Amino acid sequence: QVQLVESGGGLVQPGGSLRLSCAASGSIGSINAMGWYRQAPGKQREFVAVSTSGASINYADSVKGRFTISRDNAKNTVYLQMNSLKPEDTAVYYCNADIRRGQGTTYIRYWGQGTQVTVSS
């Protein structure tokens, strides 16, 4: 099966930086878009950033200028560099990816288990 595993979350001071990683593993044929969502306590999951296989990038307005998404396709990994972090960035961050499995035809949306990011003084 295909799995996405996030890492890099933790506790950081306001104004600090954190870098999240999400590595896909398993029976992977190809990966199209990879992206990040987040869910704060008491709120619904919201879009953060996405990178397509063609390197087209889109960010939520709330993170533009502060977050940077990037990919290492050779490692099936997507990153989220988060700078100038604010308390309102506190959330569980989830990676997703559209993946065609090794012997499959259809691209399927997979989700990671989430990694906690806490921004607090």
Section 63-78 average pLDDT: 96
Q: Which helix (H) or strand (E) holds 12?
A: strand 10-12
Q: State percent of the chain over pLDDT 90.
A: 92
Q: Please, which residues have CB within 8 angstroms of residue 105's CB and are 6 or more apart in sequence?
A: none
The answer to whether residues 20 and 7 touch, using CB atoms and an 8 Å cutoff, is: yes
Longest CA pairwise span in the chain (Å): 48
State the pLDDT at residue 6.
Answer: 96
Query: Which tokens belong to 86?
Result: 């604010």
The model's pLDDT over 19-60, given as tens digits with 9 standing for 90+, comes to 999 999 999 999 999 999 999 999 999 999 999 877 799 999
State the pLDDT at residue 102.
Answer: 82
The angle at the Cα of 65, spanning 60 to 68, to the nearest 5 degrees, equals 75
Number of neighbours of residue 37 by Cβ within 10 angstroms: 21
Grouping H, G, I as helix, E, B as strand and the rest as coil, residue 102 is coil
State the pLDDT at residue 89.
Answer: 98
Mean pLDDT of the chain, nearest integer: 95
State the pLDDT at residue 55.
Answer: 75
- pLDDT band with cut points at 50, 70 and 90 for residue 78: very high
Closest CA to 46 of 96, 4, 7: 96
State the pLDDT at residue 81.
Answer: 98
- pLDDT band with cut points at 50, 70 and 90 for residue 104: confident
